[in-house]
Amino acid sequence: MKNYKSKKQEDVKSSDGLAATSHPLATLEAISILNKGGNAVDAAIAASAVLSVVEPNATGIGGDCFAIISMNGKKPVSYNGSGIAPEKAKVDFFIKNKINKIGLDSPHSVTVPGAVHAWSTIHNDYGKLEFEQLFLKAIECARDGFNVTEKVSNSWKKNQLKLSKNKNTKKIFLNNGNPYKLSEKFKNIKLADTLEKISKKGANEFYNGNIANAIVTSLNELGSLHTLEDFEKQKTIKNDTINCKYKDIIIHQCPPNGPGITVLFMMKMIEKLKIENYKANSAERFHIEAEVTKLAYQLREKNIGDPNFIDMDLKKLLSHSDIEETVKKISINKCYDVGNLNIPAHPETVYLTVVDKDFNAVSIINSICYVFGSGITSNNTGILFQNRGTNFRIEQNHPNCIDGLKRPLHTIIPGMVFNNYKPILSYGIMGGQYQPVGQVHVLNNIFDYDMTPQEAISFPRAFHFNNIYQLESGISKRTENDLKKKGHKTVRINEYLGGGQAIQIDWQKGLLIGGSDPRKDGYALGL
């Protein structure tokens, strides 16, 4: 594995607009849209559409979307485009049928895809260009094909068996039964046709038209509980962000069922623990990060779910007294035992951010949950479905217990930071359950260790997950040994933790500074 800190990659600077995504074609399309007179919202949707084609391992219109948007430097708005479970998906059904866990490739893992509705809602609120124009590049990539990049080809290789189980998936996503390799051209002509219909007829075609009919038919054939009425009931939730003060900045997140409160909880604890007193690469810094991770994830698992189904007192969870009480459990010298939380792991997501010449800022994230989602592709549409429903628990009285029309506890979280009532950082970290930790890591790197966006993103990472502390190779042996002395069970991972993008906004200088994660195939680019 690479030491990502050593890979030479400079910050990108611009005064006229900047985009940072996980794939070069998506970044180029975002910049192209800005050049055509589109704003950050137009560019972000267009880039998301491209990513839905060129990173089918991580995203697609069969998945979900969350976004935070600040227009004209004003108060940020949260968009929750996560999908609902079928109305018939009651916990009693699963208990009666002796299903105690929703399988990764089960049709029951497919929640109604929310991404298309979210894109449409955001565009209706803020878009400048015609909706149809935002899909042209994505349609071209799907119909004419694109050359597969390195990271995507690696995912394809590892998931050959998964892709071979469903007849539609095998036909579209395997090349005569083989995974697509680096630089090979991949086409999804059926998806091109579907995207063209959506671009011309809008989201209504996806949720009320022929596309919805095809999706429901395909899933029902596999034994799912989906109905056309479920698709008609899918809506994007638009509301205020949740936030907390950290020193002199305000960190904004999407409310639950998103896990953004995890970031806020961790940052409030870290503020009490004064992480800046320890070096960025020290065992103490990584130890603090691990300890607040354990406690924050425990809190999330016990308290957070769909607010339409459970009561949550977010203000209390983030209150001074609750934070103080939790921090008391943390020692700088040894580990705190939270037991085994048995949290499911799912590593794939795509995050992107765009800021235009007017400093309109979009922080947006799209995902199909696990790598290549459920592995199920619908008839005649080319749509590969997410398996976000596997996040539900088949456990009565659990805050994330499955229920009809309920949204599962999510993992994808865009972030935005404000200072003096204006956005100063639009950022996000990819990588399933790692995302809250990754956000905290990058925020500390920028605001406590004075790193630039690119330095903060490239810096070595670690993730304490289900009692194992995963370390990237960039973390020194000395740091690892010191972590072991504190009681951590460490393991060196052969790959990487997440990805990420960030754009810093300097209002005084009129300057945008962007970075993109070398762990992925993308990059940042300015006008």
Rounded mean pLDDT, 267-288: 97
Q: Are residues 63 and 89 in the same domain?
A: yes
The mean pLDDT value of the chain amounts to 94
pLDDT for res 144: 98
Neighbours of 92 (CB within 10 A): 9
Q: How far apart are CA 211 and CA 199, in angstroms?
A: 13
113: nearest Cα among 231, 243, 286, 247: 231
pLDDT for res 432: 82
| Per-residue confidence band for 1, with pLDDT thresholds at 50, 70 and 90 | very low
Catalytic pick among 27, 293, 349, 390? 349
Structure tokens at 148: 């597969």
Question: What string of H, E and C letters represents the secondary structure of 166-211?
Answer: CHHHHHHHCECCECCCCCCEECCHHHHHHHHHHHHHCHHHHHHCHH
Q: Are residues 383 and 288 in the same domain?
A: no
Q: Are residues 130 and 40 in the same domain?
A: yes
Residue 419 falls within a domain, yes or no?
yes
Rounded mean pLDDT, 415-428: 97
Residue 510 falls within a domain, yes or no?
no
Rounded mean pLDDT, 512-519: 96
Q: Which of 1-10, 184-193, 391-400, 401-410 has the lowest mean pLDDT?
A: 1-10
Taking the CA atoms of 317, 300, 427 and 241 in sequence, report the sign of the dihedral they define: negative
Q: Which of 115-129, 294-308, 472-486 has the lowest mean pLDDT?
A: 294-308
Ramachandran class of 60: left when φ > 0, alpha when ψ lies in -120 to 50, beta otherwise: left
pLDDT for res 4: 39
CATH number of the CATH domain containing 302? 1.10.246.130
Q: Are 67 and 48 in contact (CB under 8 A)?
A: no
Residue 226 falls within a domain, yes or no?
yes
How many structural domains is the chain composed of?
2
Q: Are residues 105 and 120 in the same domain?
A: yes
Rounded mean pLDDT, 280-304: 94
pLDDT for res 300: 87
Neighbours of 291 (CB within 10 A): 26
Residue 17 falls within a domain, yes or no?
no
Q: Is 262 a residue of the active site?
A: no
Query: Model confidence over 470-497: pLDDT tens digits?
Result: 999 999 999 999 999 999 999 999 888 9
Neighbours of 112 (CB within 10 A): 29
Strand 468-471 and strand 462-465: the pairing is antiparallel
Q: Are residues 226 and 180 in the same domain?
A: yes
Say if residue 7's pLDDT is above 90.
no
414: nearest Cα among 432, 431, 426, 425: 426
Q: Are residues 492 and 375 in the same domain?
A: no
77: nearest Cα among 67, 87, 86: 67
Structure tokens at 495: 């790959």
Of all residues in the chain, what percent carry a pLDDT higher than 70?
97
Say if residue 435's pLDDT is above 80.
yes
Q: Are residues 275 and 149 in the same domain?
A: no
pLDDT for res 345: 65
Query: Which distant-in-sequence residues (6+ apart) come within 8 Å of 467 by Cβ?
Result: 340, 489
Q: Are residues 214 and 119 in the same domain?
A: yes
Q: Are residues 232 and 255 in the same domain?
A: no
Rounded mean pLDDT, 411-430: 96
250: nearest Cα among 453, 82, 462, 68: 68
pLDDT for res 157: 96
Find the domain containing 281 and state its range: 239-332+413-505
Tell me which of 355 and 350 has the higher pLDDT. 355
Whole-number CA gyration radius for the chain: 21
Query: Model confidence over 137-162: pLDDT tens digits?
Result: 999 999 999 999 999 999 999 999 99
Say if residue 18's pLDDT is above 80.
yes
Q: Are residues 208 and 253 in the same domain?
A: no
Residue 443 CB-density burial (10 A; 0-12 exposed, 13-18 middle, 19+ buried): buried
Cis status, amide bond into 494, omega within 30 of 0: no
Residue 222 falls within a domain, yes or no?
yes
| Per-residue confidence band for 466, with pLDDT thresholds at 50, 70 and 90 | confident
Say if residue 390's pLDDT is above 80.
yes
DSSP string, 129-156: S-GGGGGHHHHHHHHH-EEPPHHHHHHH
Rounded mean pLDDT, 287-296: 96
| Per-residue confidence band for 294, with pLDDT thresholds at 50, 70 and 90 | very high
Amino acid (1-letter code) at residue 102? I
Taking the CA atoms of 280, 286, 291 and 294 in sequence, report the sign of the dihedral they define: positive
Say if residue 464's pLDDT is above 80.
yes
Residue 7 falls within a domain, yes or no?
no
Q: How far apart are CA 61 and CA 14, in angstroms?
A: 31
Residue 317 falls within a domain, yes or no?
yes
pLDDT for res 338: 81
Rounded mean pLDDT, 109-114: 98
Q: Are 24 and 523 in contact (CB under 8 A)?
A: yes
Q: Are residues 198 and 269 in the same domain?
A: no
309: nearest Cα among 399, 386, 238: 399
Rounded mean pLDDT, 378-405: 95
Residues 283/495/45/85 CA torsion (nearest 10 deg): -90
Q: Are residues 274 and 230 in the same domain?
A: no
| Per-residue confidence band for 3, with pLDDT thresholds at 50, 70 and 90 | very low
Neighbours of 114 (CB within 10 A): 29
Residue 400 falls within a domain, yes or no?
no
Residue 143 CB-density burial (10 A; 0-12 exposed, 13-18 middle, 19+ buried): middle
Query: Which distant-in-sequence residues (6+ apart) come within 8 Å of 177 by Cβ?
Result: 164, 170
